[in-house]
Amino acid sequence: MAKLSSGPTFPISISRHSYHHRVTACHVSTPTTTTTIPFADLHPSLEVIGGARNRFLPALHSTLRHSYDPFPFIAWNPHVETIFASFFRSIPDVRLRRECLRTQDGGAVALDWVAGDQYQLPPDSPILILMPGLTGGSENSYPRHMLTKARSKGWRVVVFNSRGCGNSPVTTPQFYSASFVGDMREVVEHVSGIYPEANLYAAAWSLGANILVRYLGDESHACPLSGAVSLCNPFNLVYAFEEFTKGFNRVYDKALARSIRNIFKRHILLFEDIEGEYNIPLALNARQVRDFDEGLTRVSFGFKSLDEYYYKASCFHSIKHVQVPLLCIQAANDPISPARAIPREEIEANRNCLLIVTPKGGHLGWVAGAEAPLGGPWTDPVVMDFLEHLERGTHKTVESSNGPLTATSKNLHHAEV
C-alpha cells in the first residue's frame, strides 16, 4: 500500500494494486482538532461509542441529539417489531437491471442495479453496494428502502444477491457462508472496474454485515472501499446461534431453515454424488439452520466442526483490522443479533469505528422516525448522513492532492442477463 499525505491537516491513506497502479480508495482521516459533540448533546436513549466517535459525530448530530422514539404499540416487543417490519413494511417499486457476475470458481452472483442509472448518473457518482442478510435479496423491503434513499441523493446503488438468494443462479455445488468473503471481493473489484472514477461504499445487514466486516478486516489497509455500514450484525455467531435455541427465537430458526431448504432443493442436482463428509439428507431436511450448516456449509468451507465454523466465521475477530470508516448500528433488544455479542472493546479501540445502539428496534426493524410505521427504518437517514459525510471528505481530499488520480478497468469474467 502506498501512503500519500497532503500535509499535517488531512493525512490520506491511498491503496493501490501494484500491477494496475490505480487508486482504489481514498481513506480520509479528519484532524484531531475536529469539533466534537459534548456528551450532554447526545440523547441518553442512544449508546454511542467507538474510536471514531469524535471524527464522525458532527455529521450525525441532527439525529443523535434527539431521543429514539419507537412507534407506539408495534415496538413494545422485539418480536412484534421484527415480524411487523418483515411482513408489513412497504416495498418501494423500483425497476432493476440484473447483471450476473461469474466468479473465478465458476459460481455466480446477481447484481441488481437501478435501471437507467447507467445513462442518467455521472460516471463519478458515489456507489453504494448493498448486501442483504441470510436468504435475503433485492426483493426485500429493507434494501429497497435504503436503495431509494441513496438514489434520491444522487448515489448509484447496486444490490449484491449472494449465490441462490434473490433468485440468483447457483452454478456450482457451493453456496455462500458467514466465513466466505471471496464473492464480496470479486463484486467490489468488478464494480470498481466499471466505474473507476467513483468512490465505493457498502452497507450490509445481519449475516451480510458479518461477511462485510470480515471482508474489511481481511483487506485492511488495501481495502478499496471508502467507507462501510454494518446493521444488525451478529458479530459472534456462537452467541447468535445460542439465542436461536431459546423461546420464540425458534420460530425464526425454523423460518430461515425453510428458506435455505427451498433454495437448496431448487439446485439439488448439483450435489448429486458429491464426495466428502457432506450429509445431503440432513441439509435437505434441515429443521434448524444448524442442520444445514452441519450437513453442507461447514464441510464446503473446510471446517472440522460446527463450533469451529461459528467461532472462526464470526466477524468480531476482524474489527481490530478495519482500516476504513465503519459505522455499526445495533438494537439493544435484537432477538437474533444479541447485544452481548457486540464487540464494544474492539470498536472503542479502533479509531475508524463508530457504534450506535438503539434501545429498541428488533431485528431489521427500527420502526421509528419520520416514515414509521410503514416507511423506511430509522436507520436509513443516519446511514446516508454518515456516507455523505465521508463522500464530501474524499472529494475535498482529492481536490487538494497534487496531480490527477487515475484508474484503469479490470478484466473479470461476467455475463449480463
CATH number assigned to the domain covering 47-242+315-395: 3.40.50.1820
Tens of pLDDT, residue by residue over 243-266, are 998 999 999 999 999 999 999 999
Q: Report the candidate in 99, 98, 105, 154 with the shortest Cα–Cα distance to residue 126.
A: 154
Are the C-beta atoms of 50 and 347 separated by less than 8 Å? yes
Say what the pLDDT of residue 368 is: 97
The pLDDT confidence band at residue 273, using thresholds 50, 70 and 90, is confident
For residue 416, what pLDDT band results from cuts at 50, 70 and 90? very low
pLDDT at 196: 98
Interval 94-139: pLDDT, tens: 999 999 999 999 999 999 999 999 999 999 999 999 999 999 999 9
Nearest to 299, CA basis, from 314, 285, 280, 278 = 278
pLDDT, tens only, 147-196: 999 999 999 999 999 999 999 999 999 999 999 999 999 999 999 999 99
Catalytic choice (334, 337, 380, 389):
334
* Cα 218–chain centre separation: 15
Name the active-site residue from 27, 190, 363, 389.
363
341/6: higher pLDDT: 341
Check: CB of residue 381 under 8 Å from CB of residue 64: no
Give tens-digit pLDDT for 10-52.
Answer: 333 333 333 333 444 555 444 444 444 555 578 999 999 999 9
Per the residue annotation, which of 141, 206, 314, 318 is the catalytic one? 206
Annotated active-site residue 15? The verdict is no
Distance CA 341, CA 17 (A): 35
DSSP output for 249-293: HHHHHHHHHHHHHHHHHHTGGGGTT--SS--HHHHHT-SSHHHHI
Q: Is the dihedral of CA 331, 377, 346, 51 positive or negative?
A: negative
Give me the count of residues in the chain.
Answer: 417
Residue 409 has pLDDT above 90, yes or no: no
- How far apart CA 328 and CA 134 sit, in angstroms, is 18
Q: Is the pLDDT of residue 397 over 70?
A: no
Cα separation, 148 vs 222, whole angstroms: 30
- 334 catalytic, yes or no? yes
pTM here is: 0.86
Higher pLDDT: 411 or 354? It is 354
Longest CA span, the chain: 63
Q: By three-state DSSP, how is residue 321 classified?
A: helix
The pairs formed by 148-154 with CB atoms below 8 angstroms and a separation of 24 or more are: 148/92, 148/94, 148/376, 149/376, 149/380, 149/381, 149/383, 149/384, 150/384, 150/387, 151/94, 151/114, 151/117, 153/384, 153/388, 154/121, 154/125, 154/126
- 230 vs 185: CA distance, rounded Å: 17
Please report, rounded to a whole number, the percentage of residues in the chain having pLDDT higher than 70.
85
pLDDT at 8 over 80: no
Q: How far from each other are the two terminal CA atoms of the chain, in whole angstroms? A: 36
**For residue 23, what pLDDT is reported?**
42
362 close to 331: Cβ distance less than 8 angstroms: yes
User: Distance (Å, rounded) from C-alpha 158 to C-alpha 100?
Assistant: 12
Q: Reply yes or no on whether 363 is catalytic.
A: yes
Q: Can you read off the three cell numbers belonging to residue 377?
A: 427504518
